[in-house]
């Protein structure tokens, strides 16, 4: 990110978090947005990862599944990374730009699979940005329907099928090429 956006975007994201106030899990469920996400992760006494997963999926998660997402966080002190993650999105834009610069140099094959109901990414043209990478040219990119932010939870079988259909021919081609 360059120019005015590099200056303004971190301030905009911080403002969105501020405007969300002390967003609750219910506020995030009503309106999954950066502001509510960042605010909830900042202010919540106990972050409920299983409930976050439920909010950001289209299928109903069983209580055992939600408990499995909560398991790595038996106490609040284990949430350091989850609390910092929204800040990283807002503050590490230079690092992200450098990563994009490196990706633009690579010809390694890239496949993108996005979901149609992702409240953060759907309709934001991020899929098009990734599909513009040299290694993404000519690949069978897809938008998977009836899936939200956590595509692997909503349409895991579909995701696996598409990745295998794409990667197996690439692996076979790679193996048959003479080594230099």
User: What are 162-171's pLDDT values in tens digits?
Assistant: 999 998 876 6
Strand partners, 115: 144
User: What are 41-91's pLDDT values in tens digits?
Assistant: 999 988 999 999 999 999 999 999 999 999 999 998 999 999 988 888 878
Instruction: Kindly report the pTM of this predicted structure.
Output: 0.81
Gap between the Cα atoms of 53 and 153, Å rounded:
9
Q: Which helix (H) or strand (E) holds 162?
A: helix 156-176
Taking 90 as the threshold, does the pLDDT of residue 9 lie above it? Answer: no
Per-domain boundaries in the chain: 3-91, 106-176
Q: Phi-psi region for residue 146, left (φ > 0), alpha (ψ -120 to 50) or beta? A: left
Sequence-distant (6+) residues with CB within 8 A of 73 are 47, 49, 79, 82
């Amino acid at each position: 990110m360059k120019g005015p956006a590099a200056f303004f975007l971190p301030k905009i994201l911080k403002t969105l978090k501020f405007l969300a106030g002390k967003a609750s899990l219910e506020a995030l469920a009503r309106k999954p947005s950066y502001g509510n996400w960042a605010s909830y992760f900042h202010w919540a006494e106990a972050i409920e990862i299983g409930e976050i997963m439920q909010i950001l999926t289209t299928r109903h998660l069983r209580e055992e599944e939600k408990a499995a997402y909560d398991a790595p966080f038996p106490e609040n002190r284990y949430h350091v990374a989850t609390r910092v993650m929204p800040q990283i999105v807002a503050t590490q834009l230079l690092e992200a730009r450098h990563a994009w610069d490196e990706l633009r140099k690579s010809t390694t094959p890239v496949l993108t699979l996005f979901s149609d109901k992702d409240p953060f990414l759907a309709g934001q043209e991020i899929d098009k940005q990734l599909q513009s990478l040299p290694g993404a040219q000519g690949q069978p990119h897809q938008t998977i329907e009836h899936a939200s932010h956590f595509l692997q939870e909503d349409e895991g079988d579909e995701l696996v099928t598409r990745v295998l259909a794409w990667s197996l021919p690439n692996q076979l081609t790679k193996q048959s090429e003479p080594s230099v």
